[in-house]
Amino acid sequence: MVYLDYSATSPLLPEAKKAMLAAMDLIGNASALHTPGHFAMNAIEDAREEIAKLINAEPEEILFTSGGSESNNTITNIFVGQNVAVSAIEHPSLLESARLRCNATIIPVNKYGNVETLEIEPTFSLCSIMLANNELGTINDIKKLAKAAHAKGALFHTDATQALGKIKIDVKDLDVDYMTVSSHKIGGPVGIGALYIKKGSPFTPFVIGGHQERGRRAGTYQTVNIAGFGAAAKYAREHKTWEIYEEKIRPLRDELAKRILTDIPYSSKNTPDSNSLPNILNVSFEAAEGESIQLYLDAEGEIITSTGSACASGDGKPSHVIMATRNDAEIAHSSVRFSFGLDSTKKDIDHVMKYLPGIVDRLQKISTLHAGKIKKEDSYYGRK
């Protein structure tokens, strides 16, 4: 199997598994004052310290949640009824909850997925822009955007779920007030994430009815998952995984992009060449439907990918991210995301290129659509 869906979820690191197995033997409720409870709480605080170190935060600024979606929901819950500005390509957990709870203004992005300028009124309480987008890999200049938000008196949140471990993150340097991170994108378990809350920032608990996390989130501590997350964070920091991604994975990703654009007619890149994560490549194949490409890759080549096609999303709508960047439903329905992990190799790319051209060719030939509508002069879209 060639697994190229690391951005959806990454295999559990052996280090994380080991820490989780050890934590499974901790029997005490971490909130309890007895000895077993203390042992469990020690494991939790060790993990908290690891998450903090990874992003250059203080341990008390780290709140454990059930994952990225809860962290994002926690943010919009702090700003209920207030003016918030969120980018058009945020994760649905941020975008939809902001629309539901807040007076949300959508900040448009350019064709690469970047917020170019931030123009907000002083009446805005919060601005939320992703550090890196999950579908395209596009990286936004958060330091600049946070500064612009602060200049208008708004607080700043960034969703760093995809960026964590892939690029170096320093919350003090970025100067953000809140940051969302998740465990399973860096080789930790699913079901655990965190929210960085800069000391002194406004906060309202999202899950209420318990004193855990210093009254900031109710619910019995998930000692096992937290220990796994901590171990994955430690692994990322000690191995400087962002350097490995940069040196080993980015060239692989770029090679796959080049070979696709060269060898497959009517292919085009949704991921920008620069300012993108080293491990995500999103490509569209005109006239070939994305879910079909994804399933043929799986069935014929055991190649595991994702798609922005409506048929795969479950809600019947094409990717809101590609609609925001390229505003073309056919391109969105015809998109495939390849996301690499630390284990990815040149062999994986060769394997993809053994199957992908034939699959796309067949789907284009049986298609009711005719490829060729993308303008040739728009070289960014790389049409052959």
Partner 1 sequence: MVENKTAANGFLAGTPWVYTETVKEHFLNPRNFLMGNENEYQCDAKGIVGNPICGDQMLMMIKVDEKSKKITDVKWKTYGCASAIASTSALSELAKGRTLDEALKITAEEIEDYLGGLPKHKFHCSVLGHEALAAAISDYKKKH
For binding to partner 1 (CB under 8 A), which residues are involved?
Answer: 1-3, 11, 287-289, 291-292, 295-296, 299-300, 302, 309-312, 314, 316, 318, 329-330, 333, 343, 345, 347-348, 351, 362, 365-369
Q: What gap in Å lies between CA 184 and CA 11, rounded to an integer?
A: 8
Whether 127 is catalytic is: no
Give the helix/strand (H/E) hosting 212.
helix 212-215
Rg from Cα positions in the chain: 21
Q: What gap in Å lies between CA 274 and CA 2, rounded to an integer?
A: 26
CB of 180 to partner 1, least distance (A): 27
Q: Are 333 and 289 in contact (CB under 8 A)?
A: yes
Best CA proximity match to 183, nearest among 162, 205, 197, 198: 162
What is the total residue count of the chain?
384
The DSSP-derived string for 71-84 is: HHHHHHHHTTTSEE
Q: Report how far apart the first and last C-alpha atoms of the chain are (Å, whole number).
A: 29
Structure tokens at 147: 């500064």
CB of 112 to partner 1, least distance (A): 23
* Closer by beta carbon to partner 1, 222 or else 319: 319
CB of 364 to partner 1, least distance (A): 9
Q: Give, as one character, the DSSP assignment of residue 188.
A: S
Best CA proximity match to 281, nearest among 345, 346, 336: 336
* Closer by beta carbon to partner 1, 214 or else 365: 365
Residue 156, classed as helix, strand or coil, is strand
CB of 65 to partner 1, least distance (A): 27
Q: Are 306 and 8 in contact (CB under 8 A)?
A: yes
* Closer by beta carbon to partner 1, 117 or else 368: 368
CB of 96 to partner 1, least distance (A): 19
Q: What gap in Å lies between CA 282 and CA 272, rounded to an integer?
A: 9
CB of 290 to partner 1, least distance (A): 8
Residue labelled with tokens 């479950």? 314
* Closer by beta carbon to partner 1, 174 or else 349: 349
Mapped to the 3 state alphabet, what secondary structure does 88-123 carry? CCCCHHHHHHHHHHCEEEEECCCCCCCCCCCCCCCC
* Closer by beta carbon to partner 1, 36 or else 372: 372
Burial of 38 (0-12, 13-18, 19+ CB in 10 A): middle
Q: What gap in Å lies between CA 370 and CA 193, rounded to an integer?
A: 44
Which of 190, 261, 311, 369 does the annotation list as catalytic? 311
Best CA proximity match to 300, nearest among 361, 343, 253: 361
CB of 291 to partner 1, least distance (A): 4
Active site residues: 311
